[in-house]
């Protein structure tokens, strides 16, 4: 959102409940993917948090934070939309709850994009400048501080936009699958800052950092021929690039439609694009846990071990049960043979 969300666009957003993804489509799409995504998120967090090696690995920290954000999204905002779409009439709730809902939705979205854009930059540090992280002080400054700063900054910024600055908006379109445009974004300076700092720069950072990382690793591989280092770097590059594709695929339509409106796209057309682009961005939350799981070789290995263990346990139980049955059958036959004949 930005200063492009002016009074004309705000009127389009807040007055047209018909501009929406079909209610039944959103309901079933959200409920199916939310169940699958939530299960995968809990699975990932279980291994990443309760395994000491995974938990202490610096390259996993940003993904743990992003998975926690997905968990909040999957257990709060998505179920709220499911609850709202379960009936033909919008969910009746206090104005304050609607405002918190709209705030929470956009806050989590912006935080996700911002954190992952930093994650693409940090991956360069982890691969090429690991000496920057060899002391506690350096690790705090280059690893922990950026994550904490982005979380605190994003929270304060969105609290100001949604709760401090006065606004008299309506949530009719929001409850029908549309958007809620904060009044603060009609102010040029704040709106421009939101567009550039929270959407355009993070999206470009993800794209450019991922491309540069691929080129740097390939160049280093050709120059040094260090196979051991290359194998380690290859895992980290595949992990980053696969997740970058998800973020770019479902975030670029949102950023693109806003920029198109900025350069002359009529509001009556832009509002349709924004509604459907917003629907697409939820796929970041839905698909991120699966891509994370598939891109972590250690996690895949743990899954294989667990599945193999379960199969072995099932076979062992089956063998024990079969042995018990075989032992019982001869005993039963013997008892029948020696039983006295009744006259």
**pLDDT at position 88:** 72
Q: What is the third-level CATH fold of 7-295?
A: Rhopdopsin 7-helix transmembrane proteins (1.20.1070)
pLDDT at 183 over 50: yes
What torsion, rounded to 10 degrees, do the Cα atoms 153, 155, 161, 165 define?
A: -100
pLDDT at 178 over 90: no
**pLDDT at position 230:** 64
> Which comes out higher in pLDDT, residue 126 or 340?
126
pLDDT tens digits for 305-325?
A: 776 766 666 667 666 666 666
Average pLDDT, the chain: 83
**pLDDT at position 260:** 84
pLDDT band of 4, cuts 50, 70, 90: very low
pLDDT tens digits for 189-210?
A: 787 888 899 999 999 999 999 9
pLDDT at 333 over 60: no
Sequence ranges of the domains in the chain? 7-295, 302-343
Q: How far apart are CA 127 and CA 137, in angstroms?
A: 19
pLDDT at 139 over 60: yes
> Which comes out higher in pLDDT, residue 77 or 223?
77
Kind plus residue range of the DSSP H or E element containing 140? none
Q: 139-170 burial, b for 16+ CB within 10 Å, e for fewer?
A: eeebbeebbeebeeebeebbeebbeeeebebe
Which of the 8 DSSP states describes residue 16? -
**pLDDT at position 23:** 86
DSSP result, 83-134: HHHTSSSPPP--HHHHHHHHHHHHHHHHHHHHHHHHHHHHHHHHHH-GGGGS
Percent of the chain with pLDDT over 70: 80
> Which comes out higher in pLDDT, residue 290 or 222?
290
Q: Taking residues 241-267, what's their average pLDDT?
A: 88
**pLDDT at position 141:** 96
pLDDT tens digits for 42-64?
A: 999 999 999 898 899 999 999 99
């Amino acid at each position: 959102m930005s200063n492009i969300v002016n009074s004309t666009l705000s009127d389009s957003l807040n007055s047209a409940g018909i501009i929406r993804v079909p209610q039944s489509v959103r309901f079933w799409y959200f409920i199916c993917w939310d169940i699958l995504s939530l299960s995968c998120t809990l699975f990932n967090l279980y291994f990443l948090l309760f395994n000491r090696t995974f938990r202490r690995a610096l390259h996993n920290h940003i993904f743990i934070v992003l998975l926690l954000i997905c968990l909040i999204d999957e257990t709060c905002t998505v179920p709220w939309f499911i609850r709202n779409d379960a009936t033909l009439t919008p969910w009746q709730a206090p104005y304050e709850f609607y405002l918190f809902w709209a705030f929470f939705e956009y806050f989590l979205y912006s935080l996700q994009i911002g954190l992952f854009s930093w994650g693409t930059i940090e991956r360069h540090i982890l691969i090429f400048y690991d000496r920057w992280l060899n002391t506690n002080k350096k690790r705090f400054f280059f690893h922990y501080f950026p994550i904490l700063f982005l979380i605190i900054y994003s929270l304060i910024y969105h609290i100001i936009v949604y709760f401090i600055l006065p606004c008299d908006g309506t949530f009719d379109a929001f409850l029908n699958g549309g958007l809620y445009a904060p009044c603060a974004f009609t102010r040029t300076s704040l709106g421009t800052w939101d567009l550039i700092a929270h959407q355009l720069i993070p999206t470009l950072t993800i794209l450019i950092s991922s491309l540069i990382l691929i080129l740097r690793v390939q160049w280093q591989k050709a120059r040094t021929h260090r196979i051991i280092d290359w194998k380690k770097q290859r895992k980290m590059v595949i992990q980053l690039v696969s997740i970058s594709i998800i973020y770019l695929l479902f975030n670029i339509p949102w950023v693109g439609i806003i920029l198109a409106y900025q350069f002359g796209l009529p509001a009556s057309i832009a509002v349709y694009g924004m509604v459907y682009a917003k629907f697409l961005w939820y796929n970041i939350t839905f698909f991120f846990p699966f891509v994370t799981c598939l891109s972590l070789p250690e996690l895949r290995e743990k899954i294989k071990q667990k599945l193999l263990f379960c199969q072995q346990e099932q076979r062992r139980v089956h063998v024990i049960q079969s042995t018990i049955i075989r032992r019982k059958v001869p005993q039963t036959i013997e008892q029948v043979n020696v039983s006295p004949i009744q006259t």
